[in-house]
């Protein structure tokens, strides 16, 4: 119990000055347009999972940027997507330190495109973090696993295209 002469001291827990802030961008994509009857669609679910992950990394200095990078109704068969292009532009301007995606195939399912994207991000020292695939692309084993996953995503994309043509 506090006495009448007890002083209450406010304690401030501050982020260490040596801990640098990492500006994190979320990129989400869906091949289909948003269903107006569904307020919580795939893009929304991707965003929420990524935002929660970034929040769990706040002790490492991670902060979510204000800009939303998303593409709705765009196939991953090309990289001419407005949200994706805005993300790349902000990376080039040094506004983004980490790109967070729900799954790697949200960026692309084509291995050649993925390698081009990674080359661009590596040129700016911007890593990609996949929330559901837990891959460390700063390590050679992580890069191998990423290429394997992307190769299977491309294979799946081609198989779906083939099935559509056969109908």
Domain edges within the chain? 22-166
pLDDT at site 31: 79
Q: Using one digit for the tens of pLDDT, what is the confidence trace for 1-20? A: 444 444 444 433 444 456 79
As a whole number of Å, the CA-based R_g of the chain is 20
Q: Considering the entire predicted model, what is its pTM?
A: 0.75
Q: Provide the pLDDT confidence category of residue 113 given band limits of 50, 70 and 90.
A: confident
Q: Is the pLDDT of residue 101 over 90?
A: yes
Within a 13 Å sphere around the CA of 103, how many CA atoms are in the beta-carbon half? 13
How far, in Å, CA of 97 to CA of 106, rounded? 19
Give the mean pLDDT of 38-48.
82
Within a 13 Å sphere around the CA of 16, how many CA atoms are in the beta-carbon half? 6
Q: Provide the pLDDT confidence category of residue 114 given band limits of 50, 70 and 90.
A: confident
Q: Is the pLDDT of residue 52 over 90?
A: yes
How far, in Å, CA of 10 to CA of 6, rounded? 13
How far, in Å, CA of 28 to CA of 53, rounded? 14
Where is average pLDDT lowest: 9-18, 48-57, 138-147?
A: 9-18
Q: Of 124-133, 140-149, 152-161, which one has max mean pLDDT?
A: 124-133
How far, in Å, CA of 106 to CA of 46, rounded? 9
Q: How many residues does the structure list for the chain?
A: 167
Among the listed residues 87, 81, 70, the one whose alpha carbon sits nearest the alpha carbon of residue 128: 87
Give the mean pLDDT of 78-103.
93
Q: Using one digit for the tens of pLDDT, what is the confidence trace for 63-79? A: 999 999 999 887 656 67
Q: Is the pLDDT of residue 56 over 80?
A: yes
Which homologous superfamily is 22-166 in?
Answer: Resolvase, N-terminal catalytic domain (3.40.50.1390)
Concatenate the DSSP letters of all residues of 133-149 into one string.
Answer: T---TTSHHHHHHHHHH
């Amino acid at each position: 119990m506090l006495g009448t002469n007890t002083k209450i001291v406010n304690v401030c827990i501050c982020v260490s000055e040596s801990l640098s802030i990492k500006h994190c961008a979320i990129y989400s994509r869906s091949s289909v347009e948003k269903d107006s009857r569904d307020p919580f669609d795939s893009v929304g679910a991707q965003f929420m999972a990524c935002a929660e992950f970034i929040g769990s990394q706040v002790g490492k200095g991670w902060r979510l940027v204000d800009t939303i990078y998303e593409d709705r109704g765009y196939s991953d068969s090309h990289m001419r997507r407005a949200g994706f292009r805005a993300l790349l532009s902000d990376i080039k301007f040094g506004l983004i330190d980490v790109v967070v995606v729900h799954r790697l195939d949200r960026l692309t399912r084509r291995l050649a495109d993925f390698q081009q994207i990674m080359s661009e991000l590596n040129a700016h020292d911007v890593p990609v973090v996949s929330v559901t695939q837990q891959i460390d692309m700063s390590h050679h084993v992580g890069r191998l696993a990423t290429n394997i996953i992307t190769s299977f995503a491309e294979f799946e994309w081609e198989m779906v295209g083939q099935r559509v043509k056969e109908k």
